[in-house]
Amino acid sequence: MPRNRQILLDNRPAGEATAANFKLVSTDTPPLQDGQVLVRHHYLSLDPYMRGRMNDGKSYAAPQPLGEVFQGGTVGEVVESRHPRFAVGDPVVGFGGWQEWSVVDATQPGMLKKVDTTHVPLSYYLGAVGMPGVTAWYGLNNIIAPKAGDTVVVSAATGAVGSAYVALAKARGTRRD
């Protein structure tokens, strides 16, 4: 099994997060058990909400535990499998955190999902067709539902979800101010 480089949240930032808040460690990847798959991560997410999770305070998302792999979305490929739904080479999206490899219990619903990279690059599953894009699409279509010609104002259009929302709203024929 490969050595696994992992980035842990070592301490809570005071102000801006810096490299001093993190710790790089190397660990042995455990052998797979039945129902598990080994995923090699190609891309790790870095989203604005993650900074808030570095604090130990009440929020819509639980704080990131200290001394553990920094949590976040990942996309990669299956390199070993002991689960019948996943084969070596399958491109997958999951929540493997900031590490090169993850052992995933694929028997748990929602832990790992195969994705189609025929027409969509793997990295897009952390952006345009991943959580930010799906969140923007849902908000546009199921919450706001503007019509062509309506004016749309997005206060955080430079973020992952906001920029996707603007692109989708523009394609729908809305105006931006």
98-116 burial by CB neighbour count: b if 16+ within 10 A, else e?
Answer: bbbbbbbebeeeebbeebe
Residue 9's pLDDT is 96
**Residue 177: band (very low, low, confident or very high) from pLDDT cuts 50, 70, 90:** low
Mean local confidence (pLDDT), 114-128 = 94
**Residue 157: band (very low, low, confident or very high) from pLDDT cuts 50, 70, 90:** confident
Percent of the chain at pLDDT exceeding 90: 77
Q: Is the pLDDT of residue 1 over 80?
A: no
pTM: 0.84
Q: How many residues does the chain have?
A: 177
Q: What is the rounded radius of gyration, in angstroms, for the C-alpha atoms of the chain?
A: 19
Mean local confidence (pLDDT), 83-88 = 97
DSSP 8-state symbol, 140: I
Q: Which helix (H) or strand (E) holds 164?
A: helix 160-171
Q: Is the pLDDT of residue 87 over 70?
A: yes
State the residue for tokens 């001093």.
Answer: 20
Mean local confidence (pLDDT), 50-63 = 88
Residue 118's pLDDT is 95
